[in-house]
Amino acid sequence: MATVLGVSAHYHDAAACLVRDGAVVAAVQQERISRVKNDASFPAAAIAQCLRIADVDPGAIDRAVFYEQPFAKLERVMRSTLTTFPHGLSGFVAGMARQLGGRVFVLDHLREHLGLSRDQVMAVPHHQSHAASAYLVSGAEPAAVLVVDGVGENETTSIWHGTGGALVPRYTQPFPDSLGLFYAAITAYLGFAVNEGEYKVMGLAAFGQPRLEEEFAAFITVHDDGSVTLDRDTFLHMVHPTRAFGPRLEQRLGPARPFGRPWRLFDPADAHYADVAATAQAVLETALLRLARTAHRLCGDADTLCLAGGVALNVRAVRRVLDEGPFHEVFVAPAAGDAGGAMGAALLGAQDLGDDVQRPLADAALGAPADAARAQAVAASLGFAVARPSDLLGQAARVLDDGGLLAVCRGRSEWGPRALGHRSLLARPRPAAVQDRINAQVKRREPFRPLAPVTTRDAFDGYFGGRCDKLQRFMTVTNPATAKARRDCPAALHVDGTARAQLVEAASDPWLTGLLARTAEPVLLNTSLNAAGEPICDAVEDALLFLMRHRVAALVVDDLWIERGRR
Amino acid sequence: MSLIFGALTRLFAPFVWSSPRRAARMVHGFAHAERASVIDMQQAARHTPSPARAAQYLRHAADEWRHAQLFARLAHKLDAARSGPVHVDTEHLYDTLGEASFLAFVHMGEQRGRAQFDAHLAHLAGRAPLPGRPRAVIRGVLRDEHQHAAYTGALLDELEPRRGGLVARMARRQLWRQWLRAGRALSSGLYLVTGGLLYVLCAPLFTLLRPRG
Amino acid sequence: MSLWRRLVARLRTVGDLVGFFVRQNRLFFVPMLLVLLAAGVLLMLTGGLSYVAPFVYTLF
């Protein structure tokens, strides 16, 4: 019966997760509080938030667990830069400054911050944290666990056999051959920010054709077991701190696309970049599918594949693994990236202290609850109209049916990169122009970025094909759209006729299912509540700021209805 | 202190505005500072116990967000290549300083900003128009800066009627930050030389560790 | 926590780090590490990390 804190930090997506008596009670990403997108700094605010949510005093923490081993990481940085003389010079100087300037002392920092003793703080391997964050909350037993990301300490891909709550390593691919870093390099080549723009590459891929296989074959080889070999002269992630690719990639694929240039997808130049994205996506899907087959071979008794690591956020690839892979079921945790490592670390720590930590994650609402009283007071000070309608769902449905955008900040905030109806922007998903309107006016982002639909279990099969299982609860897979979906919710579909649909059930979210029962169709467009370049809103103040800056009909905070104009 | 900043800006303005690239770099820096300020004000809105002050901080954040967008667009118009991502960071000023000191810090920052923008406007007056109409952009921002300085000053009076000591402390803090900045340049130079030398001296030996095949 | 106790904790960590490299049979890394740690003290005190490594990929 222990209270364990898991922490991820210093690379990207810093987060904290609190596990009490084996159950996850709170999980918060630092960016939601600091408001710095992908904030990697020490997550003091996220830790404080977790403790506040669970009403736990720092002194009551039995153990704090960091999601990776700092010394092993340092060793890899030294080894990879020193053995690539002279190219590794800038990587060595910058990397060592970061490592010795703080990262190797992260356990000291944790101890001092929480007032814990030396033996109360430990570190677990990066990929094991990822694997635990998926397997231990999947409800699957036994399971094969596939972790694919940029790089942990030294591993870029790993396969684990999860059985009886334990994770047994079966396979690893070491740095620098990395599927995640390959995709990151293509992300940078296409003019997007690494660790942020990978979603954009996936969205862009649907506009292109994977016709550059020959060019790609010159710098990436996907082997039968799913492992990859990268050309060392094309990719620079082994040696350079800020550049992902070298001139050789541009020799093969043409000049890199400048950052920030507006997209014109019917322009031949941008059509070429869409083809690059499509080919990269095809390579990634092929590799992931082969890795899934390898995992099946190595973990023969497992029917379920648990996926983790940043690559598991690629919902198109997950669909292919589900459809064409050897597993009956696939599970992806809501926070598959580095933030999820905090949860895995906490669960491993609790398990080490003897707690039974294997239990399915029913809900991703693990953050702080919305404070309606505070929202009411601040909104009144802003001169906004605040009401507590007797039929809030009916009012919300009418606004949505009339084509209005509705901002929602209710209950606890979500864990992971998806807004699942607690910190969401909702809209009627037709006509198709709604997508352009939201992309251009609210999100201020590329026109090819898809938005997602949310619907109920009863309505799901009418709108979407493919299996409907656990993956849709956390929006971690795409489903093909039916003719009805093309008619009723074109704004929530991608150009390839698929959608990253969310399935919502009355037991877990009566408010949203209630709303879907009142709108003209039982499907809504659901996108995250955030402005361009900002993290998803967390506190009511963030949601109010969103309302101030965007043309939305109203903001719902629990049972409050807030409008900008004074009533 | 704002007088010093104004004087320094007047001194350097002709140099900065003589090249669209340099001007774009500076304006991109403004966009960065405004984005950071959005975060500071948002954090303050979240933490202040007073809903009324939270509302004022949110209004301030909304203004800074608009300024950041204006400056980012202006930087891009001055130099199309100047469109890299704006990496924002936060010093968690509210948490570190507490509300009264935070307000004093912001108030002084607004005064400094006003002095700097005034100096830029004075330099640009009567000169050939530049792409993106920087004068119009700066003039618009300056109006908000006046309002921000006024409301933070009023709030400061409310929270800390004897604000002289607080303002002096924040002025010292700002000087210390400038001093540290100079120290940073020195220490980072030292580190770069040490790290580079070590690498050049030792790395050839480590190439022996390179995996074969 | 007092500065002295923090310093002792950091020194213990440096000791652990050296032990780690010794166990990994990477003795030749140790002198280099110690020189860089010494050079890094000033960097840490002045907060100069962002100057040396303004934006570093997550793998460094």
In the block, which residue shows the tokens 């009886």?
A164
Query: Residue A75 — φ and ψ, nearest 5°?
Result: -60, -40
To the nearest whole Å, the CA of A380 is away from the closest chain B CA by: 9
Residues of A in contact with C13 (CB under 8 A): 104-105, 107-108
Residues of B in contact with A34 (CB under 8 A): 39, 43, 90, 92
pLDDT for C51 beyond 70: no
Mean pLDDT of all residues in A478-493 = 96
How far apart CA A140 and CA B76 sit, in angstroms, is 51
Closest chain A residue to the Cα of B72, Cα to Cα: A260
pLDDT of B82 reads: 66
Give a yes or no: residue B146 inside a domain.
yes
Chain A contacts in chain C segment 4-43 (CB below 8 A): 6, 9-10, 12-13, 16-17, 20-21, 24, 26, 29, 32-33, 36-37, 40, 43
Report in angstroms the alpha-carbon separations of A530 from A402, A405, B23, C12: 22, 13, 31, 44
Task: Show the beta-strand stretches assigned E in A402-451.
Answer: 406-409, 412-414, 423-427
Mean pLDDT of all residues in A433-443 = 88
Comparing CB atoms, the residue among C13, C49, C58 nearest residue A150 is: C58
To the nearest whole Å, the CA of C37 is away from the closest chain A CA by: 6
Contacts of A456 (CB under 8 A, 6+ apart): A503, A504, A505, A506, A513, A516, A517, A522
CATH architecture of A179-331: 2-Layer Sandwich (3.30)
| Residues on chain B bordering chain C, Cβ-to-Cβ distance under 8 angstroms | 87, 89, 180, 183-188, 190-192, 194-195, 198, 202, 205-206
Q: Do C42 and B190 touch (CB under 8 A)?
A: yes
Q: For the segment A289-320, what is each residue's pLDDT rounded down to a tens digit?
A: 999 999 999 998 999 999 999 999 999 999 99
Closest chain C residue to the Cα of B187, Cα to Cα: C43
Mean pLDDT of all residues in A175-187 = 95
pLDDT averaged over chain A? 95
* Neighbouring chains to C with at least 3 Cβ pairs closer than 8 Å: A, B
Q: In the numeric block, which tokens belong to residue A100? A: 């010795």
Comparing CB atoms, the residue among A33, A37, A93 nearest residue B192 is: A93
A3-136+338-358 and A367-563 have identical folds:
no
Give a yes or no: residue C60 inside a domain.
no
Give a yes or no: residue C21 inside a domain.
yes
Give a yes or no: residue B197 inside a domain.
no
Query: Could you tell me if A292 and A226 are in contact, meaning their C-beta atoms sit under 8 angstroms apart?
Result: yes
Q: Do B185 and C45 touch (CB under 8 A)?
A: no
Number of domains making up chain B: 1
**Local structure of residue A370 (DSSP, 8 states):** P
Q: For the segment B112-121, what is each residue's pLDDT rounded down to a tens digit?
A: 999 999 999 9
Asked if C28 reaches chain B (Cβ–Cβ under 8 Å), the answer is yes
Residues of B in contact with C28 (CB under 8 A): 202, 205-206
Q: In the numeric block, which tokens belong to residue A370? A: 């919305």
To the nearest whole Å, the CA of B149 is away from the closest chain C CA by: 29
Comparing CB atoms, the residue among B51, B81, B209 nearest residue A79 is: B209
Tell me, what amino acid is at A465? G
pLDDT of B86 reads: 65
pLDDT of B213 reads: 40
Residue A260: band (very low, low, confident or very high) from pLDDT cuts 50, 70, 90: confident
Asked if B52 reaches chain A (Cβ–Cβ under 8 Å), the answer is yes
Tell me, what amino acid is at A556? V
pLDDT of B46 reads: 96
To the nearest whole Å, the CA of C23 is away from the closest chain B CA by: 17
Asked if C30 reaches chain B (Cβ–Cβ under 8 Å), the answer is no
Among A430, A392, A378, smallest CA distance to A539 is for: A378
| Most confident stretch, A39-43, A127-131, C27-31 | A127-131
Give a yes or no: residue B211 inside a domain.
no
Tell me, what amino acid is at A435? Q
How many percent of chain A have pLDDT more than 90?
Answer: 86
* Neighbouring chains to B with at least 3 Cβ pairs closer than 8 Å: A, C
Mean pLDDT of all residues in A410-436 = 96
Q: Do C58 and A111 touch (CB under 8 A)?
A: no
Contacts of A510 (CB under 8 A, 6+ apart): none
pLDDT of B4 reads: 77
To the nearest whole Å, the CA of C32 is away from the closest chain B CA by: 7
pLDDT of A29 reads: 98
To the nearest whole Å, the CA of A439 is away from the closest chain C CA by: 28
pLDDT of C49 reads: 64
Give a yes or no: residue C58 inside a domain.
no
To the nearest whole Å, the CA of A506 is away from the closest chain C CA by: 40
Residues of B in contact with A82 (CB under 8 A): 199, 202-203, 206-207, 209
| Interface test with chain B among A41, A47, A381, A540, by most B beta carbons within 10 Å | A381
Closest chain C residue to the Cα of B179, Cα to Cα: C46
Residue A254 CB neighbours (<10 A)? 14
- The CATH number assigned to the domain holding B10 equals 1.20.1260
Asked if C57 reaches chain B (Cβ–Cβ under 8 Å), the answer is no
Report in angstroms the alpha-carbon separations of A118 from A10, A349, A485, B26, B150: 20, 15, 56, 47, 50
Residue B177's Cβ-count burial label (10 Å; 0-12, 13-18, 19+) is exposed
Give the torsion sign (CA, A82, A190, A192, A203): negative
Q: Do A100 and C37 touch (CB under 8 A)?
A: yes
Q: Which residues of A502-516 are buried (b: 16+ CB within 10 A; e: fewer)?
A: bbbeeebbebbbebb
Give a yes or no: residue C57 inside a domain.
no
Query: Residue B173 — φ and ψ, nearest 5°?
Result: -60, -40
pLDDT for A55 beyond 50: yes
In the block, which residue shows the tokens 């059985």?
A163
ipTM over 0.90: yes
To the nearest whole Å, the CA of B160 is away from the closest chain C CA by: 31
Report in angstroms the alpha-carbon separations of B211 from A19, A229, A465, A506: 42, 14, 48, 56
Regions in chain B scoring below 50 on pLDDT: 212-213
| Three-state DSSP class for residue A499 | strand
Q: Do C58 and A181 touch (CB under 8 A)?
A: no
How far apart CA A366 and CA B47 sit, in angstroms, is 21
Query: Could you tell me if A176 and A141 are in contact, meaning their C-beta atoms sit under 8 angstroms apart?
Result: no
pLDDT of C55 reads: 54
How far apart CA A287 and CA A311 sit, in angstroms, is 11
Number of domains making up chain C: 1
Cross-strand partners of A525: A427, A453
Residue A489: band (very low, low, confident or very high) from pLDDT cuts 50, 70, 90: very high
To the nearest whole Å, the CA of B96 is away from the closest chain C CA by: 16
Which string of DSSP letters, residue by residue, matches A466-486? S--SGGGGGT-S-EEB-HHHH
Closest chain B residue to the Cα of A83, Cα to Cα: B207
Tell me, what amino acid is at A179? L
Cross-strand partners of B25: none
Residue A238: band (very low, low, confident or very high) from pLDDT cuts 50, 70, 90: confident
Tell me, what amino acid is at A57? D
Give a yes or no: residue B58 inside a domain.
yes
Q: In the numeric block, which tokens belong to residue A430? A: 């037709």
Query: Could you tell me if A313 and A334 are in contact, meaning their C-beta atoms sit under 8 angstroms apart?
Result: no
**Local structure of residue A403 (DSSP, 8 states):** T
Give a yes or no: residue B61 inside a domain.
yes
Record: fold of A3-136+338-358: Nucleotidyltransferase; domain 5 (3.30.420)
Chain A contacts in chain B segment 134-153 (CB below 8 A): none
Contacts of A321 (CB under 8 A, 6+ apart): A288, A289, A292, A305, A307, A327, A330
How far apart CA A442 and CA A434 sit, in angstroms, is 11
Q: Name the CATH superfamily for A367-563.
A: Carbamoyltransferase, C-terminal domain (3.90.870.20)
pLDDT of B202 reads: 87
Chain A contacts in chain B segment 183-202 (CB below 8 A): 191-192, 195-196, 199-200, 202
Comparing CB atoms, the residue among C29, C57, C58 nearest residue A78 is: C29
Q: In the numeric block, which tokens belong to residue A515? A: 């709303």
Cross-strand partners of A365: A414
pLDDT of B64 reads: 95
Q: For the segment A529-547, what is each residue's pLDDT rounded down to a tens digit?
A: 999 889 999 999 999 999 9
Give a yes or no: residue C30 inside a domain.
yes
Domain containing residue C35: 3-52
pLDDT of B204 reads: 84
pLDDT of A372 reads: 98
Closest chain C residue to the Cα of B196, Cα to Cα: C36
Q: What length does chain C have?
A: 60
Q: In the numeric block, which tokens belong to residue A31? A: 């960016």
Query: Could you tell me if A465 and A474 are in contact, meaning their C-beta atoms sit under 8 angstroms apart?
Result: no
Q: Do C57 and A101 touch (CB under 8 A)?
A: no
Q: In the numeric block, which tokens belong to residue A91? A: 């990587």
Q: Do A78 and C10 touch (CB under 8 A)?
A: no
Q: In terms of DSSP bridges, do strands A423-427 and A406-409 run parallel, antiparallel, or are they unpaired?
A: antiparallel
pLDDT of B85 reads: 63
Mean pLDDT of all residues in A263-279 = 94
Domain containing residue B27: 2-161
Please report, to the nearest 10 degrees, the dihedral formed by the alpha carbons of residues A24, A26, A29, A33 taken in order. 180
Query: Could you tell me if A25 and A355 are in contact, meaning their C-beta atoms sit under 8 angstroms apart?
Result: no
How many percent of chain C have pLDDT more than 90?
Answer: 27
Q: For the segment A70-120, what is each residue's pLDDT rounded down to a tens digit?
A: 999 999 999 989 988 898 999 999 889 888 888 999 999 999 999 999 999
Asked if C60 reaches chain B (Cβ–Cβ under 8 Å), the answer is no
Give a yes or no: residue C7 inside a domain.
yes
